[in-house]
Amino acid sequence: MRNLGIIVALVLVYMLFGILLNSVGTVILQSIATMGQTKASASILEAFKDLPIAVMSFLLASLLPRFGYRRAMMTGAAMVGIACLIMPLVPTFAMAKLLFAVTGASFGLIKVSVYSSIGLVTEGPAQHASLTNVIEGLFMVGVLSGYWIFGAFIDPAAPASLAWLDVYWLLAALAFGVCALLFFSRLDERAARPAYRRPREDFAGMLKLAARPLVLVFVLSAFLYVLIEQAIGTWLPTFNNEVLHLPQAMSIQATSIFAASIAIGRLGAGAILTRIGWYPLVNICIVAMALLVLVSLPLTRGISPSADIGWLSAPLAAYILPLVGLFLAPIYPAINSAMLSSLPKPDHAAMTGLLVVFSALGGTTGSFITGQVFAAFDGQTAFYLSIAPMGLLLVSLGFFARMRA
């Protein structure tokens, strides 16, 4: 298969960052347990992850076609590899902040490069949509595996131990392995390079792109989607631990149901979208996940701690609530592909940069608000709050579909 080598490299580097980025919920839980942090102080980790993504994407997205997508991905993988090596050597919350800042900055390079590269290795909107769904689906497989990898390094007999930080030795090895794979892969980037323009003209072009009404509605939709996903995904380990009273390791591993649901939903979305348009599908998904939240959260009331709780005796809500991910899954790849496949290839990096900026801001906003409500009230109230952005997303996607048509 043509371009198979670089496609495998794109998938693996994206999966690596799935593990790292979505470990923030796990690290929040472990920071509270082993580093003396409160919920309010630990919630700042999401900002340390997301704001560098936004800044890096905004400043460099339009320049990456000149620098080279493959070179940018190698740089990002090497940066997180070095940060992962330092984390267990300097086991402090300040170092955790720095680790997520480096991870966020690196992902700003990675996501723009991966999304822009999809247009270079596919032909036509159908192939573009298919590969986008596969890559995003396997990203969630990385997220899923990350919960189990981190959970395996937590000692149930010593929940306050810092031994869980040894997971970063493994993650550093994976990062450098992916970097080597990218080095030996080949990607023809000539079609993405803008001709006869200066770098500042590329940046100005991105700002002009952002001023288009269709693009503004699109990035608002992306903002709301990521706000919902991160509000639930980041705080689900803490919700499992404090509301459902699951043990720490199990609280993290049970969150993998959420990631698995998104992975299954995205990998299956390609087949579904051959029979139904993307807009009817996302409407069905938004309504379904709102109903699932309303059905599952009442099941979390009145649960008492139990010393011998396990997978067979866990509350039903531990299995039902994460299934929200199944309906979240198709929305993000569908709207991204609809937007990108309608643009010339030299504009893909700039458009992806805008997407990443607003996605990062949405993630920070969702996690921060949920953390504050969780601390001030309770986990149920924090998760009920996710229904509000679901309603706003339904409205914004209605405008996006009409304007795109």
Residue 302, phi-psi category: left (phi > 0), alpha (psi -120 to 50), beta (remainder): left
Which single residue is written with the structure tokens 């199944």? 326
Rounded to 5°, the CA angle 142-13-175 comes to 95
**Among 159, 312, 314, 325, residue whose Cα is nearest residue 256:** 325
pLDDT interval class at 22 (50, 70, 90): confident
Q: Where are the alpha helices (DSSP H) in 167-298?
A: 167-184, 199-210, 213-242, 248-254, 256-272, 278-296
pLDDT of residue 202: 63
Q: Is 84 helix (H, G, I), strand (E, B) or coil?
A: helix
Each residue of 262-294: pLDDT tens digit?
888 887 877 777 678 788 889 999 999 999 999
Each residue of 313-345: pLDDT tens digit?
889 999 999 999 999 988 988 888 778 777 777
Residue 100 has pLDDT above 90, yes or no: yes
Per-residue pLDDT averaged across 84-104, rounded? Answer: 94
pLDDT of residue 139: 87
pLDDT of residue 289: 93
Per-residue pLDDT averaged across 59-65, rounded? Answer: 77
pLDDT of residue 201: 64
Contact 81, 176 (CB under 8 A): yes
Chain CA centroid to CA 290, Å: 20
Q: Which residue has the higher pLDDT, 342 or 79?
A: 79
Name residues whose C-beta falls within 8 Å of residue 266's C-beta, 6 or more positions apart in sequence. Answer: 133, 134, 136, 137, 140, 329, 330, 333
pLDDT of residue 194: 59
pLDDT of residue 193: 64
Each residue of 138-196: pLDDT tens digit?
888 888 888 889 988 988 778 788 889 999 999 999 999 999 999 998 888 777 565 55
pLDDT of residue 178: 93
Name the average pLDDT for the chain: 86
Q: Where are the alpha helices (DSSP H) in 297-347?
A: 317-320, 324-328, 331-340
Q: How many CB atoms lie within 10 A of CB 160?
A: 11
In total, the chain counts a number of residues equal to 405
pLDDT of residue 174: 95
Rounded to 5°, the CA angle 48-51-57 comes to 135
Q: What fold is seen in the domain 4-404?
A: Growth Hormone; Chain: A; (1.20.1250)
Burial class (CB in 10 A: 0-12, 13-18, 19+), 234: buried
pLDDT of residue 279: 87
For residue 11, the number of C-alpha atoms closer than 13 Å in the C-beta half-sphere is 15
Q: Is 270 helix (H, G, I), strand (E, B) or coil?
A: helix
> Is the pTM higher than 0.85?
no
Residue 90, phi-psi category: left (phi > 0), alpha (psi -120 to 50), beta (remainder): beta
Each residue of 231-262: pLDDT tens digit?
898 889 889 998 998 988 888 888 889 988 98
Contact 361, 50 (CB under 8 A): yes
- Per-residue H/E/C for 139-169: HHHHHHHHHHHHHHCCCCCCCCCHHHHHHHH
Residue 63 has pLDDT above 80, yes or no: no
